[in-house]
């Protein structure tokens, strides 16, 4: 056994050395310098959080332009509307950043301002949205790549999309900057080479619009424009990324976030509206097997360098490759932000609690598999058709947008007596609500039968699943509350005349792994002497304060977590002392729960060689796959790791009985 433990230790040492060589040494979250080192300034935050938003310019303007059909001259007012919408939504989200400086994702905003049910709808919509983020980014990226490949290879496009639907690590900075540079050059050339025609195009656009109004009526003309405007909604889908990722920004976080939002809005408005304007100026029409952008770049570079030159062809390919690369990078947002939303929902018991621990590699793996497989299902269902995916994608994005704007409007109205600037802020969020709500209603109404129903059905099923998960946790929570009420108030007569026993490191030691000073932990402590009478002489309480992405906000929050953990463990030690044991506690704060527990257990064994580890586990009367998935993830994983290292760990059962009414009770 000793040889196995030594070999396991050596293997972990080699693995850690290799990991440090490739990834660098792990950051210590307790080091105050680490916040400055890993937090992002506005420029880098724009790079890190802007990929999702900026990449949407590869498909949003195209869908809007194609929806105009023969009324393509309406592209000019549509381009202005698109830029205006980007700035309004961005400005309204800047107010969300001010109100939620530690991260104001759609789930949190709706939950805090509209209630938990609205939060559930918003969170469920976001999770489905991130599934579709992966799908549409991969599909659009493949479209860009196959736009310059021979038509004989287009049959492989769906297979390529399936292959690309996976999580991977990307070098974002050079890809992002190359995309921005290539598109600034291409759009500038596209507008610059036709700048003399712009007054004529504007005049013609106005005349044609008036003709349409006289011919088909003002409402029909507005309907065409509104239809195209709503289908271009995919352009705005990544704007909320900054408010979701505030925790990684550098202090002052609010100012950095607002500056990042400004960079994103300017770059997105320039790119999306510029592309739409270039479509109009260069009279771009759809070609079989090519995206509109591919046709546009060919026209732009053809005008400058000659249509058949290798320079023009190379620049077209380079621009399309930057589009495809950034789209594939944007797809990673689904793998990162999808589990992050699940983590927030898990804290409120809408999702399995294991998803709250993003630092756990097994949880991350489960989240990646979940997002990847569901995205693959959407991809196969739509066969990678971007026009259908844009509709499915936009519905949930604007459902979340609308709920967030509605929540902010309600907030400003409620604080109108205490906030002097409430009216201005209410008007801004109200305008954002009008725009996002309009796009949502029009998209659902017009495109419901063409695929919108799929998004709504999947979201409804996800909401139903969340209700089912929470109802299970509520039943178990009621059972555990009865255990807390019983064990935390248990009457016992400690022998206060006897002093606390002295520490004896060579004696058998019970090391109890706990989360909090609760009924489960007390049950474990009381069970040990019943199973092993007078055997253990020492008790060591082990606990980890997990610093996940939702808690990693600053040194003050870390210190608060440390203080709460120490007070909790001191109570446990005092309880053990009253029962006649020598007791002490060990704890750590970190981002990797399993890694921290392994290190603490190793430390305890070093100080108390005869340690046996104990942890509580819920055992259900009616065991099934659901209860196995929703509970006991940590004890089982830790037991496997410790046993492989040659250490002993025992999991103590806490029985949960189901009665005919569907409630649960526990029995210690």
- 3-class secondary structure per residue, 285-342: CCCCCCCHHHHHHHHHHHHHHCCCCHHHHHHHHHHHHHHHHHHHHHHHHHHHHHHHHH
Percent of the chain surpassing pLDDT 90: 6
> Residues 560-585: what's their mean pLDDT?
85
Check if the beta carbon of residue 544 is closer than 8 Å to that of residue 588. Answer: yes
Nearest of 111, 109, 133 to residue 401 by alpha carbon:
109
For residue 530, pLDDT over 80 is answered with yes
Q: Which residues of 578-616 are buried (b: 16+ CB within 10 A; e: fewer)?
A: eeebbbbbbbbbbbbbbbbbbebbeebbeebeebbbbbb
261 or 584: whose pLDDT is higher?
Answer: 584
For residue 170, pLDDT over 70 is answered with no
* Distance, CA of 499 to CA of 332 (rounded, Å): 59
Place of tokens 């062809």: 313
Range scoring the smallest mean pLDDT among 67-81, 152-166, 267-281: 152-166
* Distance, CA of 248 to CA of 251 (rounded, Å): 9
Please list the residues that pair with 652 across neighbouring strands.
Answer: 616
The structure tokens listed for 305 are 């360098």
pLDDT in tens, 279-310: 888 888 888 878 888 888 888 888 888 777 88
Check if the beta carbon of residue 598 is closer than 8 Å to that of residue 586. Answer: no
DSSP 400-441: HHHHHHHHHHHHHHHTTTT-TTHHHHHHHHHHHHHHHHHHHH
Check if the beta carbon of residue 90 is closer than 8 Å to that of residue 262. Answer: yes
For residue 1, pLDDT over 50 is answered with no
| Ordered structural domains, the chain, with CATH | 34-471 (1.20.1740.10), 500-667 (3.40.50.620)
What sign for the dihedral angle of Cα 145, 146, 147, 149?
Answer: positive
pLDDT for the residue 427: 92
How many residues does the structure list for the chain? 668
| Confidence at 433, pLDDT banded by 50, 70, 90 | very high
Range scoring the smallest mean pLDDT among 130-144, 449-463, 471-485, 573-587: 471-485
> Residues 436-441: what's their mean pLDDT?
87
Please list the residues that pair with 546 across neighbouring strands.
Answer: 590
| Confidence at 357, pLDDT banded by 50, 70, 90 | low
> Residues 395-417: what's their mean pLDDT?
89
| Confidence at 406, pLDDT banded by 50, 70, 90 | very high
On average, the pLDDT of the chain sits at: 76
- Give the 3-state secondary structure percentages of the chain, helix then strand then coil, rounded to 5: 70, 5, 20
Range scoring the smallest mean pLDDT among 273-282, 435-444, 480-489, 582-591: 480-489
64 or 460: whose pLDDT is higher?
Answer: 460
Residue 653 is classified by DSSP as: E
| Confidence at 259, pLDDT banded by 50, 70, 90 | confident
* Distance, CA of 577 to CA of 574 (rounded, Å): 5
Nearest of 466, 449, 393 to residue 111 by alpha carbon:
466
Residue 437, number of CB atoms within 10 A of its CB: 17
pLDDT for the residue 521: 78
pLDDT for the residue 549: 40
The structure tokens listed for 189 are 């050339």
Check if the beta carbon of residue 512 is closer than 8 Å to that of residue 539. Answer: yes
**Cα 641 from chain centroid?**
29
Question: Residue 622 belongs to what H/E stretch?
Answer: none
pLDDT for the residue 267: 87
| Confidence at 556, pLDDT banded by 50, 70, 90 | low
Nearest of 517, 489, 516, 485 to residue 665 by alpha carbon:
485
Check if the beta carbon of residue 157 is closer than 8 Å to that of residue 147. Answer: no
pLDDT for the residue 10: 45
> Residues 476-488: what's their mean pLDDT?
65
Range scoring the smallest mean pLDDT among 322-331, 487-496, 578-587: 487-496
pLDDT for the residue 169: 43
Check if the beta carbon of residue 122 is closer than 8 Å to that of residue 404. Answer: yes
* Distance, CA of 269 to CA of 23 (rounded, Å): 36
Say which residues have a Cβ less than 8 Å from residue 64's Cβ, sequence separation at least 6: 78, 82, 228, 229, 231, 232, 235, 276
Check if the beta carbon of residue 82 is closer than 8 Å to that of residue 297. Answer: no
pLDDT in tens, 573-628: 888 888 888 999 998 887 566 778 888 999 999 999 999 999 887 777 767 777 76
pLDDT for the residue 410: 92
| Confidence at 28, pLDDT banded by 50, 70, 90 | very low
pLDDT for the residue 454: 85
> Residues 398-406: what's their mean pLDDT?
89
Using N-to-C axis directions, what is the helix angle for 116-146 and 157-164, rounded to 10°?
Answer: 130
Check if the beta carbon of residue 272 is closer than 8 Å to that of residue 86. Answer: yes
- What pTM did the predictor assign? 0.72
Our CA dihedral for 247, 26, 358, 369, rounded to 10 degrees, sits at 120
User: Across 61-75, 156-170, 373-387, 425-439, which has the greatest mean pLDDT?
Assistant: 425-439
Residue 372, number of CB atoms within 10 A of its CB: 18
pLDDT for the residue 484: 57
Residue 537, number of CB atoms within 10 A of its CB: 20
Percent of the chain surpassing pLDDT 70: 76
Nearest of 145, 180, 138, 183 to residue 161 by alpha carbon:
138
DSSP 469-495: HHHHHHHHHHHHHHHHHHHTT------
User: Across 142-151, 601-610, 648-657, which has the greatest mean pLDDT?
Assistant: 601-610
Phi (first) and psi of residue 544, to 5 degrees: -125, 130
CA distance readout (Å), 330 to 90, 170, 237, 240, 616: 19, 10, 11, 14, 41
CA distance readout (Å), 198 to 62, 68, 76, 189, 201: 20, 19, 10, 14, 5
Nearest of 373, 375, 369 to residue 393 by alpha carbon:
375
């Amino acid at each position: 056994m000793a040889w196995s433990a030594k070999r396991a230790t050596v293997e972990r040492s080699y693995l850690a050395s290799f990991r440090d060589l490739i990834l660098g040494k792990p950051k210590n979250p307790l080091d105050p310098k680490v916040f400055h080192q890993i937090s992002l300034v506005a420029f880098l935050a724009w790079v890190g959080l802007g990929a999702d938003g900026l990449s949407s310019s590869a498909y949003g303007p195209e869908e809007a332009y194609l929806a105009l059909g023969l009324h393509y001259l309406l592209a000019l007012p549509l381009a202005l509307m698109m830029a205006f919408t980007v700035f309004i939504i961005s400005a309204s989200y800047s107010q969300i950043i001010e109100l939620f400086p530690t991260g104001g994702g759609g789930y949190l905003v709706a939950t805090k301002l509209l209630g938990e049910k609205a939060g559930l709808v918003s969170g469920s919509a976001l999770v489905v949205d991130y599934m579709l983020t992966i799908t549409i980014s991969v599909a659009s990226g493949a479209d860009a790549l196959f736009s310059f490949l021979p038509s004989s290879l287009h049959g492989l496009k769906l297979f390529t999309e399936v292959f690309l639907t996976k999580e991977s690590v990307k070098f974002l900075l050079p890809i992002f900057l190359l995309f921005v540079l290539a598109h600034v050059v291409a759009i500038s050339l596209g507008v610059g080479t036709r700048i003399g025609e712009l007054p004529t195009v504007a005049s013609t656009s106005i005349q044609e619009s008036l003709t349409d109004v006289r011919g088909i009526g003002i409402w029909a003309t507005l309907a065409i424009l509104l239809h195209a405007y709503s289908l271009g909604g995919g352009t705005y889908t990544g704007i909320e990324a900054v408010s979701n990722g505030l925790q990684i920004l550098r202090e002052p976080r609010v100012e950095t976030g607002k500056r990042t939002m400004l960079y994103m809005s300017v770059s997105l408005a320039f790119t999306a509206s510029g592309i739409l304007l270039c479509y109009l100026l260069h009279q771009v029409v759809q070609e079989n097997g090519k995206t509109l952008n591919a046709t546009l770049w060919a026209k732009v570079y053809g005008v400058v360098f000659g249509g058949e030159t290798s320079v023009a062809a190379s620049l077209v390919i380079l621009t399309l490759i930057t589009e495809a690369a950034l789209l594939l990078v944007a797809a990673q947002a689904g793998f990162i932000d999808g589990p992050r939303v699940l983590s927030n929902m898990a804290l409120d018991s809408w999702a399995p609690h294991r998803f709250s621990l993003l630092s756990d590699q097994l949880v991350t793996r489960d989240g990646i598999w979940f997002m990847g497989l569901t995205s693959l299902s959407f991809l196969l269902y739509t066969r990678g058709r971007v026009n259908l995916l844009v509709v499915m994608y936009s519905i949930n994005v604007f459902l979340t947008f609308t709920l967030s704007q509605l929540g902010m409007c309600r907030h400003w109205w409620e604080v109108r007596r205490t906030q002097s600037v409430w009216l201005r802020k209410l008007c801004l969020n109200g305008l954002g609500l009008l725009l996002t709500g309009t796009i949502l209603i029009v998209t659902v109404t017009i495109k419901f039968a063409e695929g919108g129903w799929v998004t709504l059905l999947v979201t409804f099923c996800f909401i139903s699943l969340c209700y089912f998960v929470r109802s299970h946790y509520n039943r178990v929570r009621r059972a555990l509350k009865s255990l807390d009420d019983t064990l935390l108030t248990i009457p016992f007569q400690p022998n206060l005349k006897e002093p606390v026993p002295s520490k004896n490191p060579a004696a058998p030691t019970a090391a109890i792994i706990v989360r909090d000073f609760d009924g489960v932990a007390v049950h474990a402590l009381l069970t040990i002497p019943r199973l092993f009478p007078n055997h253990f002489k020492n008790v060591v309480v082990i606990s980890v304060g997990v610093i996940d992405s939702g808690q990693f906000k600053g040194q003050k929050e870390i210190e608060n977590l440390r203080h709460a953990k120490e007070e909790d463990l001191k109570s446990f030690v005092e309880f053990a002392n009253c029962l006649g044991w020598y007791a002490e506690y060990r704890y750590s704060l970190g981002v990797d729960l399993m890694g921290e527990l392994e290190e603490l257990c190793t430390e305890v064994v070093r100080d108390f060689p005869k340690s046996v580890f104990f942890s509580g586990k819920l055992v259900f009367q009616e065991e099934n796959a659901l209860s196995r998935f929703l509970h006991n993830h940590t004890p089982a994983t830790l037991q496997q790791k410790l046993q492989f290292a040659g250490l002993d760990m025992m999991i103590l059962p806490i029985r949960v009985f189901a009665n005919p009414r569907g409630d649960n009770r526990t029995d210690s």
